[in-house]
Homo-oligomer: A and B are copies of this chain.
């Protein structure tokens, strides 16, 4: 910007009419405009390469056309998929998709939300899971309420500790399905590579596994829960720590696919065969999950489709008055080659 901008006035002057008329033309207003003037206006717009200043329109209409998307890490395939889905749907409808990477830092989450508030975002998607942190909960609660006061459409993926519409991803259920499947295949001693410590999603997946195992009278022992961080590297490191207990266990569940993939890689690297020596399962079904050695058995959460659903939901909430459908995500156990059936 900064330089000289073509405004509605310039168009009006060239078309020899008032700015009002120009406005009516560009907005296809139902207020009548004679064909003659309309054509003159169109011609002027064309000639001047005019496009209405959406900032100004936004100020007037009390809409920013900004949709904030808060993720933990766009380099994580999981988030990239989701963001892409959202963007596909939303950005084609003249919205600005504004992303924030927070690295699961409380500070950055708060920063993102305050920016979004200051920019009067029309909608905000909390695409990353909630943080289990007192400060996060308290301050987020407050600012989210302010956002609501502004009329912002809010949507969370997985539960969040403030009062917004949350899409359930069925994290507990996913882990439960895995537990059942593993037990069904004769596994009794199962280890778990955890997700990020403060992340609620980690908690849900861990507890889901624990609870379901308990139903089979099995324990997820504390010393078989290894720390992780939802990353490939985290999975690799966990594999190294797992080595000590490798003879005690027959299967490992990674808190997500990235973890499971890193796990498999390092296990292979250490000469341990998957699944003959040990079985591995993940959650997410990332595109790369089918290309590991062996291909990863996992739970598919259709993340990209979730993204487009989110986009659709937002668009409906923002523009139409009809009640929008709930968003349902169907998960599915994808049986590939990383689990062995035990005698």
Contact = CB atoms under 8 A, between A and B. Distances in A.
Interface of A: 1-5, 49, 51-56, 58-59, 62-66, 73-75, 77, 80-81, 83-84, 87-88, 91-92, 94, 96-101, 111-112, 114-115, 117-120, 122, 142-143, 146, 149-152, 232, 265, 287-288, 291, 293
26 contacts: A1-B151, A2-B62, A2-B151, A3-B151, A5-B62, A5-B120, A5-B150, A49-B142, A51-B114, A53-B59, A54-B119, A55-B55, A55-B64, A55-B120, A75-B80, A75-B81, A75-B287, A80-B80, A88-B101, A91-B100, A91-B101, A91-B112, A96-B98, A97-B100, A232-B287, A232-B291
A154 to B, nearest CB: 13
Contact of A59 (B55, B81, B92, B150): B55
Contacts of A151: 1-3
B1 A62 contact: yes
B75 A75 contact: no
A1 B151 CA distance: 4
A115 B66 CA distance: 12
Contacts of A100: 87, 91, 97
Nearest to A75: B80
Contacts of A293: 293
B101 A55 contact: no
A87 B64 contact: no
A55 B52 contact: no
A282 to B, nearest CB: 15
Nearest to A58: B55
Contacts of A65: 119
Contacts of A52: 118
A101 B84 contact: yes
Contacts of A56: 59
A111 to B, nearest CB: 7
A118 B287 CA distance: 36
A73 B88 CA distance: 11
A141 to B, nearest CB: 13
B150 A1 contact: yes
A83 B54 CA distance: 24
A1 B55 contact: no
A237 to B, nearest CB: 14
B149 A3 contact: yes
Contacts of A101: 84, 87-88, 91
A88 B112 CA distance: 12
A207 B331 CA distance: 46
Nearest to A150: B1
Given A2-B63, A96-B96, 6 more contacts: A1-B150, A2-B150, A3-B151, A55-B64, A91-B100, A98-B98
A118 B87 contact: no
